[in-house]
């Protein structure tokens, strides 16, 4: 039985999910596929086979080139999932042929040139490695903090809007073009993730933020490396020698040598990996020793600014961020305390006494009188405005806003920035709104009112503007700074493209809903003859004679109609007509 017929039958027996997974791994021109025979031909095309082998290393391709001697080694390869071998476990003939061709080809010269992540790459490359690493972990820490405040919407084609890159770049201390690749690394490491088209921080980011910056850097890089495809992880594992990250030239040379079928797509992907390594400062494995030491003391200034003379210990930085806004992040970061940040800290569960104690412990200059006064004012203002759900069932009013200060309540009632809330005066100290409590709370907070949230029973609620996604599967493996993770969770089944949506029913319809019949090869023979007629290609046929014997003929088919084939017998040099039903096999010459 021919390989295309064998594969066509195997394909028709697969479920739709299996076919989708196969076609995601081995794309075909769906518009040109009419039935399972067409699909088998497309998958057995040498160009398609070569593309399917691009992630197999030289040893594996050698196994395919001489399959009889390497059956044990072949069993470990995903040949069945990629439609590269038959049900008996033998690679199709074209697979072995392509493998031999790849081994005979000289390795292509690796591409040269420095990574070009952005116009800022030249300046980045000139920056000391340790400084790059510190900048990267500081920027990622700020990124997850910003996503805790509000998610970032992504574009349908991927990436984030240019306006968001520009906004975040000022907060992260990076050039705008460096923000998307940094997000890519953070997502690969499980620190941020998508929910629909929105990027959120994850629960794992909270754990990561409490690590020392040396462990943060190691975990970030190892998590990113663990997310890479197997060929690239393998290249990096083999190329890292003496604790040094390999250069881009070394990686490209290794790719060309070790992966004979590697194509331009893989080369581009490897180049991108080199770019991200540049951004992360991924160089010596001993880089952690070169990172600056953490500090646990700051300078509290009379102008309510805070100066950290070095990278703060993560736990101190995390708590300080509740009571102060960061103004500049770097080796020496600066923060600023305002009335609004005091309100925010108190609303998150801090107390005035707790803030004084915390700031006094970390300050090298004591607590300035102006700061102490501001904390006291915040304590007096704390909870002046309270938002809670309306308790009565079926009420048209969903939210109650209460304050003992009628002047503040009056200001809220006439504040034009809050007009969309449609406040209605219920009493001297109460307003109501049809809008849900969370929206009312955040609009009041943005308008800088000292607001607290309560539940229906008067219990205090700690509000978060953006939700935090749970740690995705596989991220537990990233908790170790050693980076022994095997990769992120398996992707969900690939989504159907529009072409695939039409292809699957077309395939099923062409086969009558089932596989080609095993006891009748007539359809396959007719197909081969029709193709030979169209291309005027000479083929070999096996013809059953009236006495039951068979004979081999080399022919050039001329036309096919009414169950009869008109052909030229190449050996005899004469034209003949034979019944198609008497042809038992067709093969290429």
For 241-270, what is each residue's pLDDT tens digit? Answer: 555 677 777 888 888 888 999 988 888 888
pLDDT in tens, 376-418: 998 888 888 999 998 655 566 789 999 989 899 999 999 999 9
* Confidence at 484, pLDDT banded by 50, 70, 90: very low
48 domain residue, yes or no: yes
Residue 118 confidence (pLDDT) above 80: no
- Does residue 233 sit in the same domain as residue 208? yes
Q: Which residue has the higher pLDDT, 35 or 401?
A: 401
* Confidence at 222, pLDDT banded by 50, 70, 90: confident
DSSP structure string for 233-298: HHHHHHH-BTTBPPPHHHHHHHHHHH-TT--HHHHHHHHHHHHHHHHHT---GGGGGGSPPPB--B
pLDDT of residue 320: 92
Residue 357 confidence (pLDDT) above 80: yes
Percent above pLDDT 70 for the chain: 84
pLDDT of residue 375: 94
Residue 372 confidence (pLDDT) above 90: yes
Instruction: Give yes or no for a contact between 152 and 160, defined as CB atoms under 8 angstroms apart.
Output: yes
Region 5-34: mean pLDDT is 85
Residue 284 confidence (pLDDT) above 60: no
- Does residue 99 sit in the same domain as residue 157? no
Residue 286 confidence (pLDDT) above 80: no
Please give the DSSP secondary-structure letter assigned to residue 580: G
| Residue 390 three-state SS | coil
pLDDT of residue 59: 86
275-289, 324-338, 543-557: which range is least confident on average? Answer: 275-289
Q: Which of 48, 69, 104 is the last residue of a domain?
A: 104
Residue 352 confidence (pLDDT) above 60: yes
d(CA 496, CA 32): 17
pLDDT of residue 445: 85
**Diameter of the chain measured on Cα atoms:** 115
User: Long-range CB contacts (< 8 A, 24+ apart) of 230-238?
Assistant: 230/55, 231/55, 231/57, 231/255, 231/259, 231/262, 231/266, 232/269, 232/270, 232/273, 233/487, 234/57, 234/258, 235/270
Instruction: Give yes or no for a contact between 10 and 90, defined as CB atoms under 8 angstroms apart.
Output: no
What are the Cα distances from residue 450, in Å, to 338, 346, 445? 13, 10, 7
pLDDT of residue 244: 64
Please give the DSSP secondary-structure letter assigned to residue 573: T
Give the HSE-up count for residue 515: Cα atoms under 13 Å, Cβ half-sphere.
Answer: 17
- Does residue 352 sit in the same domain as residue 415? no
Residue 488 confidence (pLDDT) above 80: no
- Does residue 136 sit in the same domain as residue 277? yes
- Does residue 213 sit in the same domain as residue 70? no
Phi, psi of 463, rounded to the nearest 5 degrees: -95, 140
CA angle 22, 185, 235 (to 5 degrees): 65
Element containing residue 381 per DSSP (H, E): helix 369-381
- Does residue 53 sit in the same domain as residue 91? yes
- Does residue 144 sit in the same domain as residue 262? yes
Residue 449 confidence (pLDDT) above 90: no
- Does residue 141 sit in the same domain as residue 196? yes
pLDDT of residue 519: 43
The structure tokens 């997000």 sit at 183
57-71, 289-303, 328-342: which range is least confident on average? Answer: 57-71
d(CA 326, CA 305): 10
d(CA 42, CA 13): 17
- Domain extent, residue 427, equals 385-461
Q: Which of 104, 131, 149 is the last residue of a domain?
A: 104
Cβ burial, residue 322 (10 Å; 0-12/13-18/19+): middle
Percent above pLDDT 90 for the chain: 26
pLDDT of residue 486: 30
What are the Cα distances from residue 205, in Å, to 128, 197, 350, 358? 26, 19, 22, 24
Average pLDDT score over the chain? 82
Region 434-451: mean pLDDT is 88
pLDDT in tens, 536-557: 889 888 888 888 888 999 999 9
59-63, 175-179, 469-473, 516-520: which range is least confident on average? Answer: 516-520
Structure tokens given for 490: 């398996």
440-444, 465-469, 527-531: which range is least confident on average? Answer: 465-469
| Residue 542 three-state SS | strand
Q: Which of 461, 481, 502 is the last residue of a domain?
A: 461
- Does residue 154 sit in the same domain as residue 244? yes
Query: How many distinct structural domains can be found in the chain?
Result: 5
Name, in order, each residue with C-beta under 8 angstroms of 495's C-beta and a sequence gap of 6 or more.
none
* Confidence at 283, pLDDT banded by 50, 70, 90: low
Tell me which residue of 40, 44, 26 sits closest to 98, measured CA to CA: 44
* Confidence at 479, pLDDT banded by 50, 70, 90: very low
Q: CA 328 from chain center: how many Å?
A: 30
| Residue 571 three-state SS | coil
Name, in order, each residue with C-beta under 8 angstroms of 509's C-beta and a sequence gap of 6 or more.
none
Instruction: Give yes or no for a contact between 347 and 462, defined as CB atoms under 8 angstroms apart.
Output: yes
What is the torsion angle, in degrees rounded to the nearest 10, for the CA atoms of residue 498, residue 502, residue 507 and residue 508? 120
* Confidence at 112, pLDDT banded by 50, 70, 90: low
499 domain residue, yes or no: no
- Does residue 163 sit in the same domain as residue 31? no
d(CA 470, CA 148): 13
Residue 478 confidence (pLDDT) above 70: no
Residue 480 confidence (pLDDT) above 50: no
- Does residue 164 sit in the same domain as residue 90? no
What is the reported pTM?
0.73
* Confidence at 4, pLDDT banded by 50, 70, 90: confident
489 domain residue, yes or no: no
What are the Cα distances from residue 276, in Å, to 142, 210, 214, 271, 273? 18, 24, 18, 9, 5
pLDDT of residue 189: 92
Region 284-307: mean pLDDT is 81
* Confidence at 113, pLDDT banded by 50, 70, 90: low
d(CA 460, CA 383): 10
d(CA 461, CA 450): 14
Q: Which residue has the higher pLDDT, 490 or 305?
A: 305
495 domain residue, yes or no: no
- Does residue 303 sit in the same domain as residue 285? no
d(CA 445, CA 465): 11
466 domain residue, yes or no: no
500 domain residue, yes or no: no
Structure tokens given for 18: 């299996």
336 domain residue, yes or no: yes
Region 324-348: mean pLDDT is 86
The structure tokens 């309306």 sit at 390
510 domain residue, yes or no: no
């Amino acid at each position: 039985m021919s390989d295309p017929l064998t594969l066509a039958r195997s394909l028709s027996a697969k479920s739709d999910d299996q076919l989708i997974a196969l076609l995601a791994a081995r794309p075909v021109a769906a518009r040109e596929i009419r039935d399972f025979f067409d699909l088998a031909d497309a998958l057995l095309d040498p160009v398609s086979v070569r593309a399917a082998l691009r992630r197999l290393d030289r040893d594996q391709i050698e196994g395919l080139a001489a399959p009889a001697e390497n059956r044990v080694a072949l069993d470990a390869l995903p040949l069945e999932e990629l439609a590269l071998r038959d049900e008996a476990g033998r690679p199709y003939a074209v697979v072995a042929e392509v493998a031999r061709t790849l081994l005979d080809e000289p390795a292509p010269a690796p591409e040269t040139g420095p990574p070009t992540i952005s116009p800022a790459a030249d300046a980045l490359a000139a920056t000391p490695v340790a400084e790059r690493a510190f900048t990267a972990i500081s920027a990622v820490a700020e990124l997850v903090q910003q996503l805790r405040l509000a998610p970032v919407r992504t574009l349908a084609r991927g990436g984030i809007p240019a306006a968001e890159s520009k906004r975040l770049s000022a907060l992260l201390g990076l050039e705008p073009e460096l923000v998307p690749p940094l997000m890519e690394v953070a997502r690969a490491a499980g620190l941020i993730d998508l929910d629909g088209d929105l990027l959120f921080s994850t629960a794992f980011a909270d754990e990561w933020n409490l690590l020392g910056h040396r462990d943060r850097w190691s975990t970030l890089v190892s998590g990113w490396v663990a997310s890479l495809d197997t060929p690239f992880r393998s290249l990096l594992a083999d190329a890292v020698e003496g604790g040094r990250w390999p250069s881009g030239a070394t990686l490209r040379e290794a790719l060309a040598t070790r992966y004979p079928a590697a194509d331009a797509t893989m080369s581009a992907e490897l180049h991108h990996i080199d770019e991200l390594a540049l951004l992360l400062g991924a160089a010596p494995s001993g880089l952690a020793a070169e990172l600056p030491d953490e500090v646990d003391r700051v300078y509290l200034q009379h102008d309510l600014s805070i100066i950290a003379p070095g990278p703060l210990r993560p736990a101190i930085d995390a708590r300080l961020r509740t009571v102060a806004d960061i103004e500049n992040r770097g080796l020496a970061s600066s923060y600023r305390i305002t009335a609004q940040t005091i309100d925010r800290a108190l609303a998150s569960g801090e107390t005035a006494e707790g803030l004084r104690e915390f700031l006094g412990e970390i300050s090298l200059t004591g607590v300035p009188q102006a700061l102490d006064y501001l904390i006291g004012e915040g304590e007096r203002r704390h909870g002046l405005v309270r938002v809670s759900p309306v308790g009565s069932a079926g009420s048209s009013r969903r939210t109650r806003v209460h304050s003992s200060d009628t002047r503040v309540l009056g200001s809220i009632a006439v504040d034009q920035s809050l007009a969309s809330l449609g406040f209605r005066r219920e009493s001297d100290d109460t307003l109501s709104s049809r809008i849900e409590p969370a929206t009312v709370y955040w609009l009041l907070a943005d308008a800088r009112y000292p607001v607290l949230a309560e539940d229906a029973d008067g219990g205090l609620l700690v509000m978060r503007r953006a939700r935090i996604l749970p740690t995705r599967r596989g991220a537990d493996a990233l908790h170790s700074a050693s980076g022994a993770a095997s990769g992120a969770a398996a992707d969900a089944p690939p989504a159907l493209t529009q072409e695939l949506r039409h292809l699957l029913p077309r395939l099923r319809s062409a086969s009558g809903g089932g596989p080609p019949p095993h006891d009748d090869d007539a359809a396959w023979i007719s197909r081969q003859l029709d193709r030979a007629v169209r291309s005027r290609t000479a083929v070999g046929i096996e013809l059953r004679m009236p006495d039951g014997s068979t004979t081999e003929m080399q022919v050039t088919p001329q036309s096919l109609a009414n169950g009869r084939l008109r052909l030229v017998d190449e050996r005899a040099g004469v034209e003949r007509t034979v019944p198609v039903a008497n042809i038992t096999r067709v093969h290429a010459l």
